[in-house]
A and B are shown apart, each in its own frame.
Chain A
Amino acid sequence: MKITDETVYELAHLARLQFEDEKKERIKADLERILEFCEQLNQVDTDGVDPLIYLSDRVNNLRPDDVRVDITQDEALKNAPDADSDYFRVPKVINK
């Protein structure tokens, strides 16, 4: 699989990452090698095999929908990079 600059930009945007210059060249080469390595899977015959999605043997493991407090507002704000007394603070979202 050939990875172009455009593919890197597209993936990086989806992943909310950024790759420029040297870092971009490196990720292109790495992705090509990793994907080529992964393409070996095409040699395995999987006709009629269903994809395996869940490893757990429990199906619909439900619990009662009880109201409870796991963390308080103060605790939630404790690790914030920026906050005031009630809210998380973030850089300006809407530019007029």
Chain B
Amino acid sequence: METLSLSSLQEQVKSGSTDCRQVVSRFLRRIEEKKHLNAFLEVYDQEALDRADEITEKLRAGTAGPLGGLVIGLKDNICYAGHHVSASSRILEGFESLYNATVTQRLLDADAIIIGRLNCDEFAMGASNENSAYGPVLNDADNTKVPGGSSGGSAVAVQAGLCMATLGSDTGGSIRQPSSFTGTFGMKPTYGRVSRYGLLAYASSFDQIGPITNNVDEMAAILEVISGDDGMDATVSDKAVPKYSQMTASEGSRNIAYIRDCIESEGIDPDVKAHTLKMVEKLRAEGHTVEAVDFPFLDFMVPCYYVLTTAEASSNLSRYSGLMYGYRSKDAHDLESTFKLSRSEAFGEEVQRRIMTGTFVLSSDHYDAYYTKAQKVRRVIKDRTAELLNKYDFILLPTTPTPAFSLDEKADDPIAMYLADIFTVQAPLAGVPAISIPTGTHSSGLPFGIQLMANSFEEAQLLSFSKYVYELGTK
């Protein structure tokens, strides 16, 4: 479905040719039509319509914020006061947020219209959205395929035209991998660019919130609103937020590296490889310097990511105890059974697997061999990535080794599922920003993305170059 861009929507509302209520109504009908995709866990229909009227008035009075009229959905791990949030887990069934996440507050202050909350893998752990307690999300390009994960609902909502944009969260690729599988734009900002206050934590040294959109302009507008210092998250940078929305066109020739090991890796789909190499040729033909570089850590990135994220998850998820909120087992009869029964009945299998792995790597006998070792490998990967990004403006690589895979295809093989993130984990390991740009179309007809990584806090450059690459790639 052709979705109205934010700027034309704002103009049309101002000129009176439409209003926000009509726009919201259209999305609500579309959500109903596409219900089988299972993208939304909850739709705030009446509330969104009421707010639409308010925003129409503001737009016409010229008092609306920068996102006035933007119809947006939130991944079900981002808090919205007075609304349910569950991270697609039974353990938080019925839980209602007491406060707004910083990103939610900033969206509301900028006059966006929040239309609902979106399905995801439980606690953002997964690469296919099959780990949700509320059932899988289907890819709108082919309903037998997964949408990717963990922000599968967020990606499909944009793909299927159920709203204009969404927020997801990315720990190892959870925004970019589903963006690739659905042909949308998805960005993981620099670690520390966006506050995580009100984001249900998975792995705190990795988690970042970011937008999924139909185009780079809206991505820039949303990023500008949600970024920046926040007294509620001590990891947020106090660096000034550039005016991403006033992006200038990318000019001059740039230095770009592409990682030979990724292109030559086993398991990369021939169409994905060919498309990536074609992008390299196109960029060279435009006068950019594009060089192949070696990065001999490909096999170690996913293991490094898993040791660290499972460790952090085992600690973060200890808060779900069955005592003060969330699910409590009916059979709980003392303190220990309250913890053990509530947690083992209400956490899904993958979440329990990661908590157990994390508990193992943090246990006193194995801490040095696994956890400390992975922290050292992370430094090596981060330093080598930084070296590349000091020499080159961008690193170019595929977002995913293949287009969307089939439902159930990897459900019984955790390692195969983990490897779906092989090209996306580098950015969060190094803390740098990365974006998936939907330039590829597979011979099967499925979309896939190409990925650009930039140096920390270089989102402005990354956005303007992504816009250029998208135009070049789809020309």
Contacts and interface: CB of A to CB of B under 8 A. Distances in A.
Interface in B307-323: 307, 314, 318, 321-323
Interface residues of B, number: 70
Contact of B338 (A12, A46, A71, A90): A90
Given A58-B237, A78-B96, A33 B414 contact: yes
Nearest to B344: A18
A2 interface: no
Nearest to B239: A57
Interface string A64-88: 0000001100011011111000001
A3 to B, nearest CB: 8
A55 B192 contact: yes
Contacts, number: 168
B297 A44 contact: yes
Given A52-B378, A71-B98, A82-B328, A90 B192 contact: no
A92 B333 contact: yes
A33 B98 contact: no
B295 interface: no
Contact of A58 (B192, B336, B361, B379): B192
A56 B307 contact: no
B234 interface: yes
Given A12-B356, A55-B191, A57-B192, A44 B300 contact: yes
Interface string A24-38: 000100110111011
Given A61-B234, A71-B98, A91-B332, A27 B356 contact: yes
A42 B303 CA distance: 11
B326 to A, nearest CB: 7
A30 B326 contact: no
Contacts of A19: 344
Contact of A38 (B206, B237, B306, B337): B306
A14 B363 contact: yes
B418 to A, nearest CB: 8
B237 A37 contact: no
B192 A16 contact: no
A91 B332 CA distance: 7
Contacts of B360: 7, 11, 31, 35
Interface stretch (B14-22, B129-137, B368-376): B368-376
Contacts of A7: 360
A51 B372 contact: yes
Given A14-B363, A16-B339, A17-B343, A41 B373 contact: yes
Interface of B: 94-96, 98-99, 191-192, 205-206, 231, 234-238, 297, 299-300, 302-304, 306-307, 314, 318, 321-328, 332-341, 343-344, 347, 352-353, 355-357, 359-361, 363, 370, 372-380, 382, 414-415, 418, 431
Interface of A: 7-8, 11-12, 14-19, 27, 30-31, 33-35, 37-44, 46, 49-58, 61, 63, 70-71, 75-76, 78-82, 88, 90-93, 95
Q: Closest 4 A-B residue pairs measured CB to CB?
A: A51-B375, A79-B325, A81-B328, A52-B379
16 contacts: A17-B352, A17-B356, A34-B415, A38-B306, A38-B307, A41-B370, A43-B300, A44-B297, A46-B376, A52-B378, A53-B205, A76-B324, A79-B325, A81-B323, A91-B334, A91-B338
